[in-house]
Amino acid sequence: MLALLGLLLVIWLVCIVLGVVIKGLFWLIVVGAVLFVATALVGFVKREALGRGR
């Protein structure tokens, strides 16, 4: 599960970089940033939940 979240984080970072490199794709920067933050929050919550179970 955490590996999948890590992969998603990398994909969102690539979207952000593409949005910066390709002029006129500001929406891609915004979408990538929002999805990156959401995925990071989900990963943090999942990691905390797994740590408390031990």
Supply the range of the domain harboring residue 16.
2-52
- What average pLDDT does the segment 5-24 reach? 88
| 18, 28 Cβ separation under 8 angstroms | yes
**DSSP designation for 25:** -
pLDDT classification of 10: cutoffs 50, 70, 90: very high
- The domain tally of the chain equals 1
What predicted TM-score, i.e. pTM, was given to this entire model? 0.74
Q: Which of 15, 17, 5 is nearest to 46 (CA)?
A: 5
The pLDDT tens digits of the residues spanning 32-41 come to 899 999 999 9
Confidence (pLDDT) at 54: 57
